[in-house]
A and B are shown apart, each in its own frame.
Chain A
């Protein structure tokens, strides 16, 4: 091997192998690499002694530290629950009025509720709770099914037109499509509904149509929306006089709502969230509607 070529740059001998011009130097493995190798191996072997590491048939080496990820996570969860118990217990057991009257507790509700709302409600109602077309705005203190914490809790638990056996049920018929009202009646009642929140819409020109619409309304709509059109929270029937709209308040949207009917859906959260979480969310949503800037 003494005949092997010496590389002029490094002064090292080659191994004597040549592959299509490629040669290799016979450089020894640098001492730093070997030391690094030893260090990582010692670390690994040490670790194997400390924690669960090697299988032994039907069991495994438990390690000197006696840790196991299952017990660790159970302990941590229990500890976290204990830390939160000071306020979760109050929210779970005290009446809503008492919680609402406690500014410190309400601050906790706003923080915790914000995360719960983001993970469970924001997909439909928006991160800020302002909703979008078809999904009610929860911040305007205008409620379909009632805005007290108790009623909100019921909505959260049961859902609306949901799979829950006690679900809140609300449906507006497809008056036009199903032939209950003819085309004229639909446009007349739409004009009437529109005029309820747009006083300036009632002019001499529209007065006749609005009057005709009022008659249609009394015969077909008042049963749910009330004679005064201020809605009925027992049925989830919206107030039509306040210019707050779930499906849009321009004339075209109103016409298509009357024509095709509406049926909203909200899932039941009864089994998916804990009592404490539902109560926190109910307070949070109630609070969204009342503390508007």
Chain B
């Protein structure tokens, strides 16, 4: 890690870590009577933990002149490791909260372990911890390979990766202490949000500068999606998190958005987090690793253009479908609904483009579980975008809203699409990055695939059933025109589905743990290959670049 940095870069890194530690001290002092003080300590520890590898190698030999002649892969490797650690953590939390719904005693009478606090550790753990690290790692990989250029920075990739993980740690540890903005998927408080702005803008600049160095005349589709992901997430994050802290020493803040406008901003954020974090970013992954693994050209460049602009344009309007039949004006709901339906075509165009790319490679899909991960991901992507447009239609939403159907829909996307495309991409990336000829065990990849598919299907079918039953129970009237069921009756009816959902999640978690083991053993036990000569940037041949 450190050997790739020159002496002055190492000094700069040390100064930056020192500054972060000073910020931690300031937070600990200003927030000494508040949970923010604990976060100050965590920031100090985080900076201290990173100083250890830095100072233990501060005197190591400097990199040679031809550093630019190779891709910058160290941050990608660390990003993959962090991603898999977060995957296991986040999915474990998911299984725990799922089990709590069936067996409430599993909160063990702790405040920190109540459902309300653990649930965001699950969502942030898997979306931002697992998904975010995987996106950063693959974005760094894809942009270098498709631009044939090394990343345009030596320290900034590390700053982005570790800075982002510091945000995740502050977010998740805060939830356990009860620190929250109470905005779904944006629970982290103001100082963590400010920090993420700095990190994200650095990410944006780094990505743009690397694209600017590209040695290919065109910018590949995957990069369009990664760029959309980075730009729009920055906008969403800033606008939704505009808030005033009650004091500089307090973790509590109030949003600047009043009333229904707050709800609208929140769901404009929430839906576009799905669109640009969980869709655009992962489509970037799909557009690189699927054709590489299938060894097939992309089915249609024109379809790529249509779906990219369709997705980026239409998604922006769709957020209000989360607020059907609320205080939000009717006309805003109409726009959200109609744009959600129009969004279906570009979404399906992406899924279709991916699946049609596999024409001529279906024998590989049959034989290669890694490619099958990505194929199944594209299918789940198609299914959940259809379901999303369907649920956005107001009368359908009248039945599904507030029920487990929503939860099932989200997990069809999160498990079936996001996690499967990530595992497929990582199984492609890990051997290539560590220059191993293959994964440690193809059988374990196969086992992981079937565990993930079984887990997803059990989960999604359980939630479809339970959601539809809930929705119907809540709107069933007796002959006298009175409600037939109380809310608690619908809870009793959910019990078997909550157990099934826990089992589905558990299978998915076991698969992820097997994946961790397989990746670990690939790096540890599979011999290095020397046949990666071609994997070099073009910059290698341009001195002074």
Interface residues of A (CB under 8 A from B): 7, 9-10, 14-15, 17-30, 33, 36-37, 40-41, 43-44, 47-48, 51-55, 60-61, 67-70, 73, 80, 83-84, 87, 108, 111-112, 114-119, 122-123, 127
Contacts and interface: CB of A to CB of B under 8 A. Distances in A.
A10 B220 CA distance: 22
Contacts of B258: none
Given A21-B292, A22-B220, A112 B298 contact: no
The 5 closest A-B pairs by CB, nearest first: A118-B486, A9-B360, A27-B300, A44-B338, A23-B297
Contacts of B344: 40
B146 A52 contact: no
A119 B486 contact: yes
14 contacts: A15-B301, A20-B292, A23-B298, A25-B301, A27-B299, A43-B338, A54-B331, A54-B335, A60-B331, A69-B333, A80-B481, A112-B478, A115-B489, A127-B488
Contact of B304 (A24, A70, A111): A24
Contact of B338 (A23, A53, A123): A53
A84 B482 CA distance: 8
B302 A27 contact: yes
A28 B148 contact: no
B216 interface: yes
Interface string B474-508: 00001011111111110010000000000000000
B354 to A, nearest CB: 13
B487 A118 contact: yes
A234 to B, nearest CB: 32
A24 B334 contact: no
A37 B325 CA distance: 27
B486 A51 contact: no
Interface in B236-262: none
A87 B480 CA distance: 8
Q: Summarize B's interface: helix, strand, loop or mixed.
A: helix
A53 B481 CA distance: 33
Contacts of B335: 53-54
A122 B488 contact: yes
Contacts of A18: 216
A280 to B, nearest CB: 9
B146 A22 contact: yes
A69 B330 contact: yes
B480 A40 contact: no
Contacts of A70: 330
B117 to A, nearest CB: 22
A68 B328 CA distance: 12
B480 A53 contact: no
B345 interface: yes
Given A48-B338, A52-B331, A26 B292 contact: no
A111 B478 contact: yes
Contacts of B352: 30, 33
B339 interface: yes
A43 B341 contact: yes
A48 B317 CA distance: 14
A20 B534 CA distance: 9
Contacts of B221: 24
A210 B527 CA distance: 86
A23 B220 CA distance: 10
Contact of A118 (B148, B292, B488): B488
B306 interface: yes
A221 B349 CA distance: 81
A44 to B, nearest CB: 4
B208 interface: no
B289 to A, nearest CB: 10
A98 B477 CA distance: 25
Given A27-B302, A60-B329, A115 B334 contact: no
A20 B338 contact: no
Contact of A51 (B218, B299, B330, B359): B330
B349 A33 contact: yes
Given A10-B359, A40-B341, A22 B481 contact: no
Interface in B273-309: 288, 291-292, 296-304, 306
B301 A111 contact: no
Contacts of A83: 481
Given A17-B216, A25-B300, A29-B306, 6 more contacts: A17-B301, A40-B341, A54-B331, A54-B335, A83-B481, A108-B482
Contact of A111 (B325, B341, B345, B484): B484
Nearest to A44: B338
Interface in B188-223: 216-218, 220-221
B486 A40 contact: no
B299 A25 contact: yes
Given A40-B342, A87-B480, A24 B485 contact: no
B345 A33 contact: yes
A83 B349 CA distance: 49
Given A44-B341, A53-B331, A127-B488, A22 B298 contact: yes
A143 to B, nearest CB: 23
The residue among A10, A22, A122 with the most chain B CB atoms within 10 A of its own CB is: A22
B485 A47 contact: no
A199 B203 CA distance: 82
B145 interface: yes
Nearest to B343: A40
A39 to B, nearest CB: 9
The residue among B217, B297, B334, B478 with the most chain A CB atoms within 10 A of its own CB is: B297
A47 B341 CA distance: 11
A258 B478 CA distance: 47
Contacts of A47: 334, 337-338
A285 to B, nearest CB: 15
Interface in B339-389: 339, 341-342, 344-345, 348-349, 352, 359-360
B241 to A, nearest CB: 25
Contacts of B333: 69
B484 to A, nearest CB: 7
Given A9-B360, A22-B292, A108-B480, A29 B488 contact: no
B478 A19 contact: no
Contacts of A19: 145-146, 216, 218, 220
A22 B341 contact: no
A122 B344 CA distance: 44
Contact of B331 (A25, A55, A115): A55
A41 B310 CA distance: 12
Contacts of B342: 40-41, 44
A14 B297 contact: yes
